[in-house]
Amino acid sequence: QSVLTQPPSASGTPGQRVIISCSGDTSNIGRNTVNWYQQLPGAAPKLLMYNNNQRPSGVPDRFSGSKSGTSASLAISGLQSEDEADYYCAAWDDSLTVFGGGTKLTVL
Amino acid sequence: EVQLVESGGDLVQPGRSLRLSCVASGFIFDDYAMHWVRLPPGKGLELVASISWNGDITGYTDAVKGRFTISRDNAKNSLFLQMSSLRPDDTAFYYCARDTNWDINGAFDIWGQGTLVTVSS
């Protein structure tokens, strides 16, 4: 059971906009920033979004993040086949970083 | 090139010990906190252990407290995870990851390729 709650799956067709949610509580998302990671099949995780809505260099602006209260979301617009991956949210929680259970995104 | 390379993963019997290593290159190692994150088969990412830039601050997930020890050797740009009393549910890919901060509460911006630990009799 992960501390942060994500839907186990999401899907969309090429070109669509998909939103992945991440729910926490006041000890994690409620008082700290949220980071998102993308893990492509067979690859190591990669930082996709940090400090709620900041994209590291090289991440396309099709990806955006937001946070409100104890929830956060990752939006992917103009969905592409190469976006098919597992997505994880994460946040600091008192003494350690906690992850969501991950959302498997399928591009139909 | 900024890089993290893990090693030490293996097939081990329950109750045995194993030591993972991670060698960093391409950046000033002791400017950053470091972490071990694992991915069990069919499950999601789990932070295993974290260590601040100088080793003064460490943190562990409850499942490994008292069994795993994280350490670092800044002179050798190396991070370690000493694992003892291994259990089948420790089976996972283990990744080392760099924090964006000197403390252990930032994002993880650089990841290694992972090393596989399998605990089975």
Are B50 and B95 within 8 A, CB to CB?
A: no
Are A82 and A106 within 8 A, CB to CB?
A: no
> Which positions 8-47 of B are in contact with A (Cβ < 8 Å)?
35, 37, 39, 43-47
Are A13 and A107 within 8 A, CB to CB?
A: yes
**What values do phi and psi take at A91, rounded to 5?**
-155, 155
Select the residue of B104, B107, B113 nearest A35 (Cβ to Cβ).
B107
Question: d(Cα A46, Cα B4) in Å, to the nearest integer?
Answer: 13
Is A97's CB within 8 Å of B105's CB?
yes
Are A105 and A11 within 8 A, CB to CB?
A: yes
For residue range B10-68, list pLDDT tens digits in order: 999 999 999 999 999 999 999 999 999 999 999 999 999 999 999 999 999 999 999 99
For residue range B89-111, list pLDDT tens digits in order: 999 999 999 999 999 999 999 99
Are A38 and A85 within 8 A, CB to CB?
A: yes
